[in-house]
Amino acid sequence: MHNLYSTVASVLSPASPYAADIGRLFWITFWISMVILVAVSAFVIFNLIRYRDRGQEGLPPQTHGNMVVEVTWTAIPLAILVVLFVLTMQTMAAVSPSSHPKADPVNLDVIAHQWWWEFRYPGSDVVTANELHIPVGTPIHIELTSADVIHDFWVPELGRKMDAVPGHPNTMLIQADKPGVYLGACAEYCGAGHAWMRIRVIAQTESDYQNWLKAQAQPHPAPKTSLQAVGMGLFNGLTCSSCHVVKGSGQPEGHVVGPDLTHLADRQTLAAGVVPNTPAELKKWLADPHSIKPGVYMPNLHLTSQQLDALVAYLEEQP
């Protein structure tokens, strides 16, 4: 099994200007904090060693306090915090959409569901799930909403995280400087599947991205083999199409319950990052979704092995 998670998803390896700004602020705060921590710890430990009771007679000098030092150690932290607050305000502005007006923006609609992500590309018909393709070097404006409970979109290397709150649409910015795969996850506890509501951002050069977008806009390839044809029939005949859309399958597009499965074969993972997207894993998934992702809202349809093979052939575009 190839490892889907061999790269880091670290706040400290920023790959966007926004994550870099926040990373810088983090390090400044970190070093200020270290100075404070080391100073306090050193003082405490020094006292513990130097003034340990060695059985001396009498009592140490009974000092009750000192106004000057009190004022000093009120004023110094205050001054540090004023600086920190100014930096905070600056960084806040730098990473927020309002300071990056959309000139020629790439917009994305992200809709969180229990427990998967719906990605819509406005201006085209493209809808994907759990894996987000973006062009490098451009700020991406994300419109974030939720279809059910509160979720949170977080790809640490690309920018801040933000909650997807039902009834409260949010906008946020991400960007990727270099092509590559960036890992993220839903960060707000949203129920049984919260651990497996992962995000995978695939950043591509502008031309790769445009090609990808064009390909995605096409309907799902028509069946080329009889097995695939059977699969398409099953997809429409079983209840699959009441929850899923496959453009080109001939079914009307209903309201969204499950991920869009058009061009499923294009994705690296299944079910928001639980397993790699291979025909074998898809077969297991369709045979019993709960054994792969406990709690999931896709029912076990008790399919026969032949039905499974046909569906896999159709969805994964396998002969």
Q: Which two tokens stand for residue 184?
A: 């993220």
- Report CA 266 to chain centroid distance, whole Å: 19
**238 binds, options ligand HEC, ligand CUA, other proteins, none, Cβ within 5 to 8 A by partner type:** ligand HEC
**Does residue 123 interact with other proteins by CB under 8 A?**
no
For residue 314, the minimal CB distance to ligand HEC (Å) is 9
Residue 297 near residue 114, CB atoms below 8 Å: yes
Name the residue nearer to other proteins (CB basis): 136 or 174: 174
Kindly tell me which of 4 and 94 has the beta carbon lying closer to ligand HEC: 4
Residues 58-87 vs ligand CUA: string with x where CB under 6 A?
A: ------------------------------
Give CA–CA dist 137/148, Å, rounded.
Answer: 32
From ligand HEA, ligand HEC, ligand CUA, none, interface partner of 259 (C-beta below 5 to 8 A by class)? ligand HEC
Residue 192 makes contact with ligand HEA by CB under 6 A: no
Q: If contact means CB under 5 to 8 A according to the sort of partner, which of ligand HEC, ligand CUA, ligand HEA, none does residue 80 touch?
A: ligand HEA
The residues pairing with 153 across neighbouring beta strands, listed in sequence order, are 162, 186
Give, in order, the Cα–Cα distances in Å from 299 to each of 236, 290, 294.
16, 8, 11
Question: Looking only at residues 252 through 281 of this chain, which bind other proteins when binding is defined by CB under 8 A?
Answer: 273
Contacting residues for 60 by C-beta, under 8 A, at least 6 apart: 51
Of 48-56, 76-84, 155-163, 287-295, which segment contacts ligand HEA by CB under 6 A?
76-84
Can you give the C-alpha Rg of the chain in angstroms? 27
Alpha helices in 238-317 (DSSP H): 240-243, 279-287, 289-292, 305-315
Residue 10 binds other proteins, judged by CB under 8 A: yes
- The most distant pair of C-alpha atoms in the chain lies apart, rounded to whole Å, by 99
- The correct pick among 18, 115, 154, 235 for binding ligand CUA (CB under 6 A) is 115
Q: Does 36 bind ligand HEA (CB under 6 A)?
A: yes
**What residues from 36 to 75 belong to the interface with other proteins (CB under 8 A)?**
36-37, 40-41, 43-44, 47-48, 51-53, 56, 59-66, 69-70, 73-74
Examine residue 185 and tell whether it contacts other proteins (CB under 8 A).
yes
Dist. CA 22–CA 35, nearest whole Å: 20
Cis peptide before 212 (omega within 30 of 0): no
Does position 294 bind ligand CUA by CB under 6 A? no
Query: For residues 64 and 255, which CB has a smaller minimum distance to ligand HEC in the complex?
Result: 255
Instruction: Give me the least distance between CB of 25 and ligand HEC, in Å please.
Output: 34
Q: Closest Cα partner for 182 from 40, 27, 6, 18?
A: 6
89 near ligand HEA (CB under 6 A): no
Separation between Cα atoms, residue 110 and residue 79, nearest integer Å? 41
Binding to other proteins by residue 104, rule CB under 8 A?
no
Distance CA 268, CA 108 (A): 20
Cα→Cα distances 185→54, 95, 135, 165, Å: 56, 20, 20, 16
Residues in touch with ligand CUA (CB under 6 A) = 112, 115, 151, 186, 188-190, 194, 197
Residues at the site binding ligand HEA, with contacts judged by CB under 6 A: 36, 40, 77, 80-81
